[in-house]
Amino acid sequence: MKETGEKGDLFVISAPSGAGKSTLCHRLMEETPGVAFSVSHTTRSPRKGEVDGVDYHFVSKEHFMQMVEQEEFLEWAEVHGNCYGTSRSAVTAMLENGQDVLLDIDVQGAMQVRDIFPESVLIFILPPSLQVLEHRLRNRGTDSEETIRLRMENARGELAAVREYHFLIVNDDLIRAAGDLQSIVLARRCRTRRVLQRHDLSGMIPD
Ligand code: ADP
Ligand code: 5GP
């Protein structure tokens, strides 16, 4: 990919907390070579099993605000009472390297990215219902009652933004939803710009 100068695409994935975004992103990366995940910075504390530098870069509020001042974030937002941001340099390097980049970010961040990269692909993951969403949050067993209440409240606001997105995936059946997500990424690789960057077709197609 690199040799022919193919540039990757940016995929912005949003969803109410608990809809299954992380699960779907992990599956996509396992099953689709050439997809990279942008590891965000956050001031939230790690959940059980989360690894610094893999799931997030866990930083102090002070460190985070320093990065904001130094304009190191492509976008950032306060979500559920914590700060989250996407590293500008990391994303640019992966795209330039020909990788497709996944951003798992909230609606506020998605709108900022859309303004900076109008070609980015915005995908919203929906739970089958609000009841299922609450059930998944509880079942995940990582959040307190207070956190679950706050996340359910915020879900309504996030759902109001679905029409801003290019694609909607209902995450009822995990295998089908993962297939939908992969199809979007693979279809994007067939766009004219990407194919012409990937293959030398100069002998066949006039400039
Ligand atoms: P998010 O990243 O959107 O907050 P997660 O990926 O952590 O959500 O998923 C929330 C919980 O729901 C997890 O326990 C996950 O295993 C479960 N889950 C995800 N997708 C499905 C699905 N299609 N069916 C049933 N459970 C699911
Ligand atoms: P969680 O705490 O459950 O991992 O994530 C909470 C919310 O923050 C999710 O909606 C997630 O998409 C969002 N989020 C994670 N990283 C970023 C980021 O870098 N920027 C923005 N704007 N939102 C993020």
**What distance in Å separates the CA atoms of residue 136 and residue 207, rounded to the nearest whole number?**
52
Q: Is residue 207 part of a domain?
A: no
Mutation probe of ligand 1 site: the residue of 21, 22, 23 with most atoms within 8 A of C-beta: 23
Q: How confident is the model at residue 15 (pLDDT cuts 50, 70, 90)?
A: very high
**Contact indicator for 71, 80 with CB cutoff of 8 Å:** no
Dist CA 79 CA 58 (whole Å) = 15
Q: pLDDT tens digits for 143-191? A: 899 999 998 999 999 999 999 999 999 999 999 999 999 999 999 999 9
Ligand 1 mean position to 130 CA, how many Å? 13
| Ligand 2 atom closest to residue 110's alpha carbon, by position in its atom list | 22
Domain assignment of residue 205, yes or no? no
Who has greater pLDDT, 142 or 3?
A: 142
Report whether pLDDT(74) > 80.
yes
Predicted local confidence at residue 4, as pLDDT: 60
Q: Write the residue with the smallest CA distance to atom 9 of ligand 1.
A: 20
- For residue 10, is it within any domain? yes
* Burial (CB count within 10 angstroms: exposed 0-12, middle 13-18, buried 19+), residue 206: exposed
Instruction: pLDDT band for 27, please (50, 70, 90 cuts).
Output: very high
What is the spatial distance between Cα 160 and Cα 200, in angstroms, rounded to a whole number?
A: 44
DSSP per residue, 62-115: HHHHHHHHTT-EEEEEEETTEEEEEEHHHHHHHHHTT-EEEEE--HHHHHHHHH
Tell me, yes or no, whether 204 lies in a domain.
no
Which CATH number is 176's domain given? 3.40.50.300
Q: Tell whether 26 is covered by a domain.
A: yes
pLDDT score recorded for residue 67: 98
Ligand 1 contact, 98 CB (< 6 A): no
Mean residue pLDDT across the chain: 94
Measure the CA–CA gap between 102 and 107, rounded to whole angstroms: 14
206 inside domain: no
**Is the pLDDT confidence value at 2 over 50?**
no
Residue 99: both structure tokens together: 């990788």
CB atoms within 10 A of CB 152: 16
- Look at residue 1 in the predicted model and tell me its pLDDT: 39
User: pLDDT, tens digit, for every residue of 80-125?
Assistant: 889 999 999 999 999 999 999 999 999 999 999 999 999 999 999 9
Question: How large is the average pLDDT for residues 122-138?
Answer: 96
Q: Is the pLDDT of residue 140 over 60?
A: yes
Q: Which structural domain, as residue segments, surrounds residue 186? A: 2-198
- Which residue's CA lies nearest to atom 24 of ligand 2? 105
State the total domains in the chain. 1
To test the pocket of ligand 1, the residue of 21, 135, 136, 152 to mutate (highest count of ligand atoms within 8 Å of its CB) is 136
